[in-house]
Structure 1
Amino acid sequence: MEAILLIENVMKKLIIIGAGGFGREVLCWALDCQTVQNDWRVYGFLDENLRALQGFDCPCQLVGYPSSYIPAQDEVFICAIGDPRIKLSICEIFMSRGAQFINLIHPTALIGLNNKIGQGCIFCPRSAITTNVTLGDFVTINAYSGIGHDAVLGKGVTLSAYCDVTGNAVLGEGVFLGSHAVVLPSAKVGDYAIVGAGSVVLKTVKAGVTVMGVPAKQVAGF
């Protein structure tokens, strides 16, 4: 009984920033994680839209607005926003307020040896990183996406579902990959570039541009 009380006294409240579609997905993964750890329990969402959860049978409710929320010492956070620019902007604000971000690692995610993982990362179901991978802060690896050996992903990168980032690939800060996108070995994707769904990057993508196709070609940006 004393051990149970001790766990309850130190357990944190997990707050999910963003109550949109991805936020509700992250809630599912967080509830799965609760079954294998005793560090925190899901407490609720932060979102500027008071109606974000309207019409959904959601076990958690909104507890505040990101723009004005002040983190407490017994709270930890994860940011469930797909857009890298918005995600990084919000996370930087929360860090300046003293927020503590956790890594949300689903029980089915696979993580190999000798990897470097920043804070605030999300590993969705069946995601995988192999070995000697470097992930910056606030990287999101969606379901069934994989990252090969020695790859480097900058902070804020978002991989949609079923992406394949192969060995020695480099993704800069804030890169977004659409579903089923592939980055081939040693290819480089510049900061805040967007790789469209189903595209295959062979070599180099300039910063700030959007590419699509097989092979991926620039369709927007400069």
Structure 2
Amino acid sequence: MSRWFACASIVAMRNIRIAIYGCGGFGREIEPLASSMDADVVFVSDIPSEHGSVINHIRVISFDDLISPQHIDREVVLAVGSSDGRRNLAAKCKAAGLRFGSLQAPTVRLLRDNKIGEGSVFCDYSMCTSNARIGQHFQCNIYSYVAHDCVIGDFVTFAPRVNCNGNVTIEDDVYVGTGAFLKQGIRIGRGATIGMGAVVTNDVLPDVVVVGNPARVLER
């Protein structure tokens, strides 16, 4: 688990230079959160054919460009859905001395006494109520919520409309699919995947996939 921050660096609230690492679907979804606040935004891609192109009116640069004097002052927001992918990119950026920023849509509600790690992304109409602790590089997609007293690890992904009720503990690298319901007080182990629409009423072991209502381990 990461160290905790009283509040993430919400780059959407400041005029700043931002590099969104990843210009796939999620990157293109979150770019307007920064651009609408008059931030200077670029995409970063590891795909050579995309370097120098323009996607959704935003320039695409390489990692080598990012660490050049022209761009190294930018705050990096990771826009990769895979927790492993985000973890690898975070290590790469940190080793290069880059800083991380966070994004928060104007429709987000973050209530009292939450502690949120750096690199978080809260998309439109998402919510975190009170007294939650959230690790680094959390992605909270549209209409998802985190209720009171939850503890969420690093590199956790919430797809759209995730319903995370109070006192839930989610370890690192967990993916929670669209429309899933997490019962109050359960624990989800590291690296687990919660399937789309799953209703999770019991603890989930690390590195398993659960699906259905009630959620059961998917046999492979």
Instruction: Please confirm whether the aligned pair reaches a TM-score higher than 0.5, indicating the same fold.
Output: yes
Aligned-partner Cα distance in 2 for 1:164–1:109: 15
The answer on 1:30 being equivalent to 2:34 is: yes
Deviation digits for residues 78-130 of structure 1 (CA, Å, limit 9, x no counterpart): 00011111111111221121111112111110001000000000000000000
Q: Corresponding residue for 1:18?
A: 22
Partner of 2:151: 152
Go from structure 1 to structure 2 and tell me whether the alpha carbon gap of 1:207 and 1:79 turns closer, same or farther (over 3 Å shift): same
Q: How does 1:163-182 map to 2 (within 5 A)?
A: 163-182=162-181
CA contact (8 A) 2:147 2:166 kept: yes
Report the RMSD for the aligned CA atoms in angstroms.
Answer: 2.3
Which residue of structure 1 aligns with residue 201 of structure 2? 202
Separation (CA, whole Å) in 2 of partners of 1:56 and 1:92: 26
Give the Å deviation of 1:204. Answer: 0.6
Equivalence for 1:93: 92
Instruction: Name the counterpart of 1:4.
Output: none
Q: Which residue of 1 aligns with 2:5?
A: none
Gaps of 5+ in 1: 1-9, 36-40
1:70 aligns to what? 67
CA gap of 1:179–1:42, structure 2 versus 1, over 3 A, is: farther
1:59 aligns with 2:63: no
CA distance in 1, matches of 2:98, 2:114: 24
**Partners of 1:171 and 1:135 in 2: how far apart?**
9
Aligned partner of 1:43 in structure 2 is 41
> Does structure 1 retain, via aligned residues, the 8 Å contact 2:111–2:128?
yes
Look up the match of 2:82: 83
SS at match of 1:44: strand
Residue pair 2:51, 2:61 contacting (<8 A) in 1 also? no
TM-score after normalising by structure 1: 0.85
The one-letter amino acid paired with 2:204 is V
What's the CA shift string for 1:38-91, capped at 9, x where partnerless? xxx23211112245599986110211137x842655211100011111111111
SS in 2 for 1:61: strand
CA contact 1:112–1:129 (8 Å) conserved in 2:
yes
Number of aligned residue pairs: give it: 205
Identity of aligned residues (%): 27
Say whether the 8 Å CA contact 2:141–2:159 is kept in structure 1: yes
Name the amino acid aligned to 2:20: I
Per the alignment, do residues 54 and 182 of structure 1 end up closer, same or farther by CA in structure 2, a change over 3 Å counting?
farther
Contact 2:53 2:59 in 1 (8 A): no
Contact 1:177 1:194 in 2 (8 A): yes
Distance 1:100 1:17, change over 3 A: same
Structure showing greater Rg = 1
Q: Given the two structures, how large is their TM-score scaled by the length of structure 2?
A: 0.86
